[in-house]
Structure 1
Amino acid sequence: MNTQAEPLPEGAPLIQPSDTEHPLFDGVVEACRTVYDPEIPVNIYDLGLIYTIRISDEGDVKILMTLTAPGCPVAGEMPEWVQNAVEAVGGVRSVDVEMTFDPQWGMDMMSEEARLELGFM
């Protein structure tokens, strides 16, 4: 778990971009959408808890994610749920899920669908 924030170079994004052009990206996203926070009826991808998805040419997936709050009751379990879901995607060789709280999650990170589902729109 990344608990100590290192200073970013000026102008660097707080959340690194995902490998959206990789052929496995859509499958990895759909796998993430099968994982739900048990207290919120919206999947973790649309909640904005998945910050970055990096995929190597060999099919190694690295996911940087967060939780809605550091004291979330499933903090110890959710990364494993994500790993299990993504490992089932054809072409994925390995999955590494890293948890971070920098930047802290906020409701502005949710998709429009999640906001609608939760009654925020």
Structure 2
Amino acid sequence: MIDLCEVREALRQNVYDPEIGINVVDLGLIYDLQEPEEGTLYVKMTMTTPGCPAHDSIAEAVEWAAAQVFGVAEVKVDVVWDPPWSPERMSEEARQQLYG
């Protein structure tokens, strides 16, 4: 069984939006983590904008970081646009870092 908290922490520590410099978890880009079948991790996420130039590299980094967690045999990353991302999804830490 995959420890989804461990996956979230791996993403927090290893995957950053290169333009903003804040991790994808605190930015609020990770919408959902599930283990639909043993060893398979499903990640539902978004980007800050549909035209994000780092779209592919961020999604690939999420897949890589999640695959490092014990019990993860396969990672499926689904980038969605609904609901759209907004700054309200950010953690308080991310807001402080971005807005001071």
Query: What is the TM-score when the length of structure 2 is the normalising length?
Result: 0.91
Greater fraction of residues in strand: 2
Once the two structures are superposed, the pairs formed by residues 27-46 of structure 1 within 5 Å of their partners are 27-33=6-12, 34-46=14-26
Helix, strand or coil: the match of 1:104?
A: coil
| 4+ long deviations beyond 3 Å | none
**Residue equivalent to 1:9:** none
Q: Residues 89-110 of structure 1: CA distance to partner in whole angstroms, max 9, x if unpaired?
A: 1111211000011010000000
Instruction: Show structure 1 runs of 5+ residues with no match.
Output: 1-21
Helix, strand or coil: the match of 1:89?
A: coil
Once the two structures are superposed, the pairs formed by residues 39-118 of structure 1 within 5 Å of their partners are 39-56=19-36, 58-118=38-98
Query: What is the TM-score when the length of structure 1 is the normalising length?
Result: 0.76
Instruction: Show structure 2 runs of 5+ residues with no match.
Output: none
CA contact (8 A) 2:2 2:39 kept: no
Partners of 2:79 and 2:36 in 1: CA distance? 19
Partners of 2:70 and 2:11 in 1: CA distance? 14
**Residue equivalent to 1:25:** 4
Higher-Rg member (1/2): 1
> Identity, % of aligned pairs?
44
